[in-house]
Structure 1
Amino acid sequence: MRLICLADTHNQHHDIPIPEGDILIHAGDCTDGGTRNETSDFLQWLSGQPHKYKILVPGNHDFYFQKPENLKHIPEDIHLLIDKGVEIEGLQFWGSPFTPGIGNWAFSRERGSDIKKHWDLIPKTTDILITHTPPYGILDQIGSGVNLGCEELGKALQIVQPTYHLFGHIHHSSGKLMRSSSQYFNLSILDERFRIMSSPVVLDL
């Protein structure tokens, strides 16, 4: 089983070479302004990829997915995970788009109990967790060195302990890290100046 994983493409998906694989995973910020036209273009592109399965978790730029009436327009071959799971060939996936912070962003929640309720939903049987935000202290530093990840998500991961945790959001910290029994991947394709600087991550399971 080959997973092709990326995040933070911000409308530049047409310019990114996508390797062959079985499951194509996007961990959020597929658009920049979250408009209907941007989202429609991305969904058409994603649905048209040859991978047998497609998984999408929205990000803080992806406003279109916040409105329930828009979700009926998602192509049937795309698994949109908003506090939701899917089992694919024996693997348990769980996805959640929420990010910590107060502001006019999509899927934002205040730090503490407000965002914790979303992480409490993650099943302990999760093999591959997909969030938009990183946990606090793991591949979550911006250019100034400040950590912006979610503390409550970090606490939840001590209980869930997925084999893989895939996320994006913090462009500056694209990369991978092994900690305890989990592997962490910041899948951000663009850097902080929105230039394509990374490639999709390929995971062979």
Structure 2
Amino acid sequence: MRILAFSDLHHSRRRAEALVEAAREADLVIGAGDFCNMRQSLPEAMNLLSGIDAPMVVVPGNAESSDELQDAAHEGTTVLHGSSAEIGGLRLFGLGYGVPVTPFGAWSCDLTEAHAAEMLARCETADILILHSPPKGVADLTSGGISVGSTALREAIERIQPKIALCGHIHESWGQAGQIGRTRVVNLGPTPNWFTF
């Protein structure tokens, strides 16, 4: 199975066009949150991806709520947030939002570490963990070199040991990757990232 994955589209028409074009070769498309900006114009942002024919699995970022994403998602799109799905024999579990709570204010959809840990406890096994935020210590550095990832996400990855954990959120770490045990962690960014299962 060829999987195309991305994060942090942020309503970019140019980025969306490249993803739609790439998706012609994909068996599955994964979107790791932040499709719009500051909870604005999410339906229009999702429409930029309407040319994708492959099944799509998405999690909400901190720029859209789970309910908003569910309402804006097109047919053939599965929204995960503290929930799982099986596609083509692959077990997927997704958790969106900013973890830990961001400094961005009331518009941002965030979870405390404790709430995230509670939602992640529902996952006993997964081949792919789809997250918006990165785990603590991997692909989570700001431009100032500060590690802002989630301890709850790191602990879940250590426990579950999926084959890959996909995330975004920290723009300065787009394209960065690392290992937590057997799990490869990748901060995707809004360009096509390919994985084969």
Normalising by structure 2, report the TM-score. 0.87
The equivalent residue for 1:193 is: none
Alignment deviations for residues 46-89 of structure 1 (CA, whole Å, 9 cap, x no partner): 332132x11111100114x445xx73553221111121111011
Counterpart for residue 187 of structure 1: 188
Q: Which residue of 1 aligns with 2:91?
A: 92
Contact 2:138 2:177 in 1 (8 A): no
Matches within 5 A, 1:128-139: 128-139=128-139
Q: Which residues of 2 match residues 35-114 of structure 1 at below 5 A?
A: 35=40, 38-51=41-54, 53-63=55-65, 65-66=66-67, 71-72=70-71, 74-99=73-98, 100-101=100-101, 103-111=105-113, 113-114=114-115
Task: Name the residue aligned to 2:38.
Answer: 33
Paired residue type of 2:35: C
Partner of 2:7: 7
In structure 2, the CA distance between the partners of 1:155 and 1:182, relative to structure 1 (3 Å rule), is same
Is 1:93–1:130's contact at 8 Å kept on the other side of the alignment?
Answer: yes
Report the Cα distance in structure 2 between the residues aligned to 1:13 and 1:22, rounded to whole angstroms: 22
Instruction: Give the SS at the match of 1:109.
Output: coil
- Extract unaligned runs of 5+ from structure 1: 190-198
Cα offset for 1:176? 2.0
Kindly report structure 1 stretches of 4+ aligned residues shifted beyond 4 Å. Answer: none
Q: SS in structure 1 opposite 2:49?
A: helix
- Number of aligned positions between the proteins: 188
**Structure 2: stretches of 5+ with no match in the other structure:** none
How far apart in 1 are the matches of 2:107 and 2:135? Answer: 18
CA–CA separation in structure 2 for the residues paired with 1:84 and 1:106: 21
Distance 2:165 2:26 in 1: 19
Go from structure 1 to structure 2 and tell me whether the alpha carbon gap of 1:143 and 1:120 turns closer, same or farther (over 3 Å shift): same
Q: Give the counterpart letter for 1:146 in structure 2.
A: I
TM-score (norm 1): 0.84
Determine the C-alpha separation between the residues in 2 that align with 1:32 and 1:84. Answer: 24
CA distance in structure 2 between the aligned counterparts of 1:204 and 1:176, rounded to whole angstroms: 16
| CA contact 2:157–2:180 (8 Å) conserved in 1 | no
Residues 142 and 73 (structure 1), Cα distance of their counterparts in 2 relative to 1, 3 Å cut: closer
Q: CA offsets, 1:113-148, max 9 Å, x none?
A: 233212212x22210000101010010000001111
Displacement after TM superposition at 1:30 (Å): 0.6
Cα distance in structure 2, aligned partners of 1:98 and 1:74: 16
Over aligned residue pairs, what C-alpha RMSD do you find?
1.9
Does structure 2 retain, via aligned residues, the 8 Å contact 1:101–1:108? yes
Aligned AA for 1:41? Answer: E
